[in-house]
Chain A
Amino acid sequence: NAGVTQTPKFRVLKTGQSMTLLCAQDMNHEYMYWYRQDPGMGLRLIHYSVGEGTTAKGEVPDGYNVSRLKKQNFLLGLESAAPSQTSVYFCASSYSPWGGGAYGDTQYFGPGTRLTVL
């Protein structure tokens, strides 16, 4: 049981390039999330999904797209990377919406992807 995995772990892009970050979970969770973490700031929600084939915008969606073609995978895409998208990206999943359905039913996070846009 690997939990939540993310690929790649590190990536350097030039401004204008595109890339896709992959998140996979083996816990059969319906709900998945993409966050970004910037120095001194709390995690901010980019997009989320409440089930296979569904996606929704979070707090900071601009410049990103997502897809959830399979229940276990949640992809985050950057079509034209900008330096402002330099960040650490975390994927998470949960059994209930946002976690908190029961004690311990929370969001479980992957190890993160460090992205630098030059």
Chain B
Amino acid sequence: GENVGLHLPTLSVQEGDNSIINCAYSNSASDYFIWYKQESGKGPQFIIDIRSNMDKRQGQRVTVLLNKTVKHLSLQIAATQPGDSAVYFCAEKYAGNMLTFGGGTRLMVKP
């Protein structure tokens, strides 16, 4: 897609497998985290969010895990489908400050 970079890390998975996308965040004081999905030529779409007082949160086919010790966030997608192919990026927020966005990971689902 034209809205993603040539140098984005890429994860390639087989349809039906589980996907794990990782994100290292920068601010140990960040208290709110979001995962977005961005399909080619479209705007970012909210997937799931989590606050710093939780380690895990589940949605429909997606789970977000937060490890504050190592400042790591992951998005797990169960039974990955071709429609999951997109760029995924995380965002963090500290108190009342602006969201800071990561560069993203491209997920490619092989049929």
Contacts and interface: CB of A to CB of B under 8 A. Distances in A.
Q: Is the interface of A mostly helix, strand, loop or mixed?
A: loop
Interface residues of A, number: 30
A59 B99 CA distance: 11
A106 B93 CA distance: 11
Interface residues of B, number: 29
A114 B2 contact: yes
Interface in B43-90: 43-46, 49, 51, 89
Contacts of A64: none
Given A90-B43, A100-B49, A40 B101 contact: no
B8 interface: yes
Contacts of B8: 40
Contacts of A48: 98
Interface of A: 4, 37-45, 48, 58-59, 88, 90, 92, 97-100, 103-104, 106-112, 114
Q: Which 10 A-B pairs have the closest CB atoms?
A: A40-B5, A42-B101, A39-B5, A109-B43, A100-B32, A43-B101, A109-B44, A40-B7, A106-B46, A111-B43
